């Protein structure tokens, strides 16, 4: 079997995007990598069966490369179009998609614009904090997370993000305070427990007091145990036991790196899951059809079977149900207008339309309230 390699370049403003696709004949897979200004942002892997012949393999490489190129072109075209609009929600949706495709610079630009247009858009501040954190901009991450928390101090996710930003900046005491606040809001917040354990590892690495160090180790073990009770995948990660051994031998630097590896692996898994259940984020507005909503609902329902108490999933499911209902309601209103225009005797239906418009506005307000936009 031969090895095929395809490469494409795209340019947007002053940035260069390089897409490379090739097949690995030893691992039987096709991989596509995306580089932005020479920096690797993402790798996509597609295994293929042993019995695939040469022509089929070449076709797979071309199709995989073409799909990723088309997807990236679509995102960049949407970015170029949306960046010139003053539509905060459209900008926020696209920025979220860009973030999850690791196109962080574009995401930051859009999210910053959203927060200027809507200074109380707490979800945009939260997403901006996540994006800044992913790119190592800790001061900006702290500032954005602080804004999100100020608007919604009762949101556990926002407090956990605030803690992660403080931890990245080395502010251990403040990070611990925020992680504890997140757990106080949601006692089953496994990620916050694990992050709290990380904070205590860092604290132990800085302490010269043996007694305090031993207490910190005990706290770390307890917090990691609680995190693993909520999310067993923490314990199942290859770094987990090695991290505990490093902790017990007081090799805090190694323990911290091993545990951070687990956190990054979990974030990557959640990123992939998010993309699979939020395909609408990669769709242009006119592609968000009733059928697309239905597919989204089925995908979320599947994920809720694994995470039945995941608030973000539940909220997104409610949004989809209401958006599908609104689409159907709009079709009903359109039909009423057609009837009034073609049948003079149906003029009395106009009063019904007025009531229907009021209900439709209530739907919009309900969606905005549930998703925190109102």
303-312 pLDDT per residue, tens: 788 777 777 7
Say if residue 374's pLDDT is above 70.
no
Mean pLDDT of the chain: 87
- Among the residue ranges 51-60, 215-224, 274-283, 301-310, the one predicted with the least confidence is 274-283
Alpha carbon distances (Å) from 68 to 17, 75, 241, 250: 12, 11, 37, 45
Higher confidence at residue 20 or residue 25?
Answer: 20
Separation between Cα atoms, residue 253 and residue 297, nearest integer Å: 44
In the chain, what are the domain boundaries?
5-79, 85-152, 165-277, 313-374
Helix (H, G, I), strand (E, B) or coil at 70: helix
Give the helix/strand (H/E) hosting 4: none
Burial of 246 (0-12, 13-18, 19+ CB in 10 A): buried
Residue 279 has pLDDT above 80, yes or no: no
> Alpha carbon 18 to chain centroid distance?
23
Q: What are phi and psi of 76, to 5 degrees?
A: -70, -40
Structure tokens at 362: 């209530």
Q: What is the rounded CA–CA span in Å between residue 101 and residue 19?
A: 13
Q: How far is it, in rounded angstroms, from Cα 165 to Cα 169?
A: 6
Distance from C-alpha of 353 to C-alpha of 182, rounded to nearest angstrom: 46
Predicted confidence at residue 301, as pLDDT, reads 86
DSSP character for 345? G
* Angle, helix 190-206 to helix 252-277, in steps of 10 degrees: 160
3-class DSSP state for residue 12? strand
Helix (H, G, I), strand (E, B) or coil at 118: coil
From residue 22, alpha-carbon distances to 30, 45, 46, 272 in Å are 6, 10, 10, 21
Mean pLDDT for the stretch of residues 329-336: 82
126 band by pLDDT with thresholds 50, 70 and 90: very high
The gap from C-alpha 326 to its chain's centroid, in whole angstroms, comes to 25
Lowest mean pLDDT among 164-168, 284-288, 310-314, 349-353: 284-288
φ and ψ of 327, to 5 deg: -60, -45
CA distance 283 to 142: 31
Q: 286 pLDDT band (50/70/90 cuts)?
A: low
Per-residue pLDDT band at 371 (split at 50, 70, 90): low
Domain 85-152 has CATH 1.10.287.3510: no
Could you tell me which residues are beta bridge partners of residue 15?
12
- Could you report the per-residue pLDDT of 43-62, keeping only the tens digit for each? 888 888 877 888 888 999 99
Residue 221 is inside which H or E element, if any? helix 210-230
- What percentage of the chain reaches a pLDDT higher than 70? 93
| Separation CA 193–CA 185 (nearest Å) | 12
Residue 278 has pLDDT above 70, yes or no: no
Per-residue pLDDT at 152 exceeds 50: yes
């Amino acid at each position: 079997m031969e090895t095929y390699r395809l490469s494409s370049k795209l340019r947007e403003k002053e940035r260069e995007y390089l897409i490379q696709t090739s097949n690995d004949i030893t691992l039987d897979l096709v991989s596509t990598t995306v580089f932005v200004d020479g920096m690797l942002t993402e790798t996509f892997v597609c295994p293929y069966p042993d019995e695939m012949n040469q022509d089929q393999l070449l076709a797979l490489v071309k199709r995989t490369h073409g799909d990723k190129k088309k997807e990236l072109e679509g995102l960049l075209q949407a970015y170029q179009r949306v960046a010139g609009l003053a539509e905060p929600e459209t900008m926020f949706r696209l920025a979220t998609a860009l973030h999850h495709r690791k196109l962080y610079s574009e995401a930051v630009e859009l999210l910053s614009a959203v927060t200027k247009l809507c200074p109380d858009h707490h979800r945009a501040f939260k997403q901006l904090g996540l994006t800044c954190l992913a790119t190592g901009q800790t001061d900006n991450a702290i500032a954005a997370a602080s804004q999100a928390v100020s608007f919604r101090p009762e949101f556990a996710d926002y407090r956990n993000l605030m803690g992660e930003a403080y931890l990245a900046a080395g502010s251990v005491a403040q990070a611990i305070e925020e992680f504890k606040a997140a757990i106080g809001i949601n006692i089953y917040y496994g990620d916050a427990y694990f992050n709290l354990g990380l904070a205590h590892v860092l604290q132990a690495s800085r302490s010269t007091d043996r007694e305090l160090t031993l207490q910190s180790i005990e706290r770390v073990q307890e917090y990691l145990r609680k995190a693993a009770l909520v999310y067993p995948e923490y314990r199942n990660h290859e770094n987990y036991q090695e991290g505990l051994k490093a902790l017990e031998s007081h090799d805090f630097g190694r323990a911290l790196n091993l545990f951070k590896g687990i956190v990054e692996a979990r974030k990557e898994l959640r990123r992939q899951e998010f993309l699979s259940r939020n395909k609408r984020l990669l769709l242009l507005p006119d592609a968000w059809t009733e059928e697309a909503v239905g597919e989204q609902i089925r995908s979320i329902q599947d994920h809720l079977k694994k995470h039945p108490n995941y608030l973000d999933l539940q909220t997104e499911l409610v949004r989809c149900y209401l958006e599908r209902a609104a689409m159907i309601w709009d079709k009903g209103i359109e039909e009423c207008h057609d009837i009034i225009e073609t049948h003079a005797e149906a003029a009395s239906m106009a009063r019904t339309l007025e009531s229907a418009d009021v209900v439709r506005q209530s739907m919009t307000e309900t969606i905005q309230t549930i998703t925190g936009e109102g």
